[in-house]
Structure 1
Amino acid sequence: MDLSTNILSRKIPPSLGNLSLLNELYLSTKRLEGTIPSSLGNFTNLYALFLSQNSLSGTIPTQLFNPLASLVSLDLAQNNLVGSLPSEIATLERLSELDVSENELSGEIPSSLGGCVSLEYLYMEGNFFQGSIPPSLSSLRGIQDLDLSRNNLSGQIPSFLENFSLLNLNLSFNNFEGEVPVAGVFTNASIISVVGNKKLCGGILELQLPKCTIKESKKTKMSLALILIITMVFTLVGVSMVTSLLFSCFKRKRKDQSAVSLVEDPVLKLSYGMLLKATNGFSLENFIGAGSFGSVYKGILDGDGTIVAIKVLNLQREGASRSFMAECEALANIRHRNLIKIVTSCSSVDFQGNEFKALIYEFMPNGSLEEWLHPVSKTNVDEDKLQNLNFLQRINCNQCSLCTRLSSSPVPYTYCSLRSKAKQRTS
């Protein structure tokens, strides 16, 4: 039911809760007022509820959470809601998007929010939340976008945020203090914001924060002669070290420059939700094949329409995790014309909170290497249209690259070794 962008006004009728079979409800009409009726908790099959951009008041009813175990998206933004965020929100284990921004909510961020392990988008800006960021949020390993700006949050920025693969982190205009982390997401100033926190210091240079000062105990003043002696000693040591390292630094210069370019090279970041949408829910229509540790699906990325091959690891299979790490490490360091290029990888959790790992490759549309080397004749098909490589193509070294690039099998980096076997063939 979609009633948004209309001019409906007044209160939400409690009788709306009688529509217990609804899956999606959109009421962003800009004129609704009153409280959120607790009868909406009757929507036991609901996975999308949008009540944003209204004038709803009162507290968020706890009845809204317990029955709605299937809820994936909840949008209560831009209302006049007050009180705290109920701790019962932990029951929404499948929740992927939560937006309570631009309200008048207060109190601390409930530690139970860490139970929503499938969260990818969390927006809480423009409220009156206070206290520190609870350590329990470290369990939100799949979070992509986190906005806690324009609140009254305090304490230090937790270091566990360094380990998140965030695309956007906004902590601006709060009361955070102490040193800003310098690892992980905090190395990219374009995706983080900490402005408006007057007690923060340190961080990378692009943040333009003051240096952190270390309080030292009172020490006796050293004499001028002792200072000069220490300065001369360190100067001589420094000159000798620089001289000995100049030659080695010159050799390592090119290597360091190439390493820096690889680090700074932007990597496409894909979440579980994006891959689920790209493969139409990992449907059979998109299924390409299966290998020892997983299955491969054809996917169309949202936005530019890029077609990719998505290898989903079966983590229930022993050795699948080790295979994922070994494949990532190998393909990140090897470039060859007979290897299909890896685009990116995804290590996250699905909407049920299960661990999810996938590798994303270039998609090769012309079938598998097996079909080209060993074509099977089909009835009612012209011989000219059958996939086939003649004898000269099989023994020609230049065709080896062609064979492998045509492959879209579940092991897409198979080497073409036709030339070594050419002498053994007689026909």
Structure 2
Amino acid sequence: MVVLHHQHLILLVVFNFLLLFAAESVTLDTDRLALLEFKKQITDDPYGALSSWNDSIHFCNWVGITCGHLHPQQVINLDLQGKGLGGSISPSIGNLTFLSLLTISNNRFHGQIPQEIGNLNRLQIISFANNTLGGELPTSLPNCTRLREIYFFHNNLVGKIPVELFTSLSKLEIISINENDLTGEIPASFGNISSVRVISLAGNKLQGSIPDSFGQLTNLFYLSLGLNNLFGMFPVSLYNLSSLQTIDIVQGQVHGSLPRDIVLTLPNLQILLIAENLFSGSILGSISNISTIKVLELGSNSFVGSIPNKLGDLQNLQLFLIDQFGGGKVDDLDFVNPLVNCTLLELLDIEGNSFRGLIPNFKANLSTQLSILHLGMNQISGNIPAGIENLVNLTSLAMEQNFLEGNIPSVIGKLPKLQRLFLGDNRLSGQIPSSIGNLTNLYELHLENNNLNASIPSSIGNCQHLQSKSKPPSTPLIGVQFLKLSYRKLFQATGGFSPANFIGSGSFGSVCKGIIDQDETIVAVKVPSLQNSRVDKSFSAECKALRNIRHRNLVKILSSCSSLDSKGKDFKALVYEFMPNGNLDNWLHLPMEAQYHSRNLSLLQRLNIAIDVASALDYLHYHCHAPIVHCDLKLSNVLLDNDMIAHVSDFGLARLLLEPDDDSSQTQTSTIGIKGSIGYVAPEYGMGGRATIQGDVFSYGILLLEMFTRKRPTD
């Protein structure tokens, strides 16, 4: 009887072992088959990263695969980041139920994120960053209750952030979904994730206010919500988070003020980015007591009062931007002198304000890290100090539109890294120093509208766009990085301005497609017709309008050229980012057989385009240093990129409202005289009325009617 009992025990052990073995075999085969199904969805593998994924090698030894120690036959890590892979994510990914880490970032995956992701209940880190994934956030993601880090940034994800998405993910520490196309409001449920340390939602299309519940996140040290459409009051509760190191809400309509005791409430603050909002009040002295501060970007708000001179005590300060600072009493340049003592300072930008005073004489061994110094468009007087030679790392120096006097110091030629030098529109006199010819990296030089000797030293042979007061106005540009392009390069890029590269034409010239050889950048080259007497004025107006503006719904300028062509005649061109889907007029009015997908714009697409154009106008009218009136808004001036995002273009008629309008006293009847195109132009312009933002709004209304009725204004 005892023997029989032992036999039963042995059989039971063997049976259980067989069951475990069978289960293990099934699981093993499931993981292998899931990976092979995943591979089937890969349509492009330029580096052969998945060439090892075959039955000649055990799948635990395949590239990017790690199996576990406790479960040696199960995949716990799938890491294929940066392999150049293209394709979609197979739903079979959900069968790898032991996955702890899943990363396919820095590839070219497209399509939607499969709902089967929710089956991965052991998943801790998921990274799909830097792909072109679309669709909405998977609603099954809350099933992954062990998730600690989510990286979905830089994709094309759309839709709202589901309220329930983060209610069950109590272990989340990092949420990075920036640079997508998410809409709607930020759910207040974010405030329930007490473990979260990083929230990055910048660069979407989110609306509404910043949830007050963020003030509950006592572990939060990085909050990035900039480049959205947020509005409302900045939550005062956030000022109580002593853990915060970074606050980024750039370019919204958020209002509020800085707390008087900010040094006590945010003692660890390192980066404060609140530019291009509606903040008011004063810049309090306490901000200069935050010894940890590294980056301050406060421009384009409505601050008043003086800027603390104690900023020089911020020994960790690296970037300080208060360009287009705001109104009120902010006009004293004395605070710049202490900043000379900030030995780590790399960027100082105070452009577009009303600062008065003298430029400090930069001392040797101090401020040597300074790379960008922008003091333009102020009321700064005196001479350019000789101590400027101590800024040996300077790449961009802008002091235009001030009241600077005296000579240009020859020591400027001792700045070996200088690429851009803007000294135009001042009262400088004397000779142009030949030492500028020593600046071998210089590709932009602006000295126009001064009292300089008109002769240009022969040593300056590598500087483009150089013009003295006796010459026509120069071509000012926007931004920091520009392509260095000559007539020859543009001639080569467009195939000799071949008709095959012709994009379109207007009253001011033609536009050609080109390919810049150094990195095969596709560009649009706008070449004005110099036979037209109004071209110089239009060309200058477009340059001036584009010089200091930046917005995701405005066409991006890459460079300009003002030179001589192969026959020795004057040549001008503006180089823009190429928009592969052409202009809105072609989409709505070309016949069906045309190359554009005419009549295929859905109602939602038209609505999104209308919102994009409205966002661009709102920026031009209310968020620039001087309000800009476009004056020629119409369908053909709305360009569409690869994602059907609208970009307003053609600023040839634009007006800066704070400057006198040369045409205001004239009663011309041409489209130039009435500041716009027939059918779109505001009625008062026909009677000699000045350009106004209301005129642009009228044109926008006509554009809306045309978009949704498909009838031209002159029908």
Higher helix share: 1
Q: Please give the TM-score of this superposition, normalised by the length of structure 2.
A: 0.29
Scaled by the length of structure 1, the TM-score of the pair is 0.47
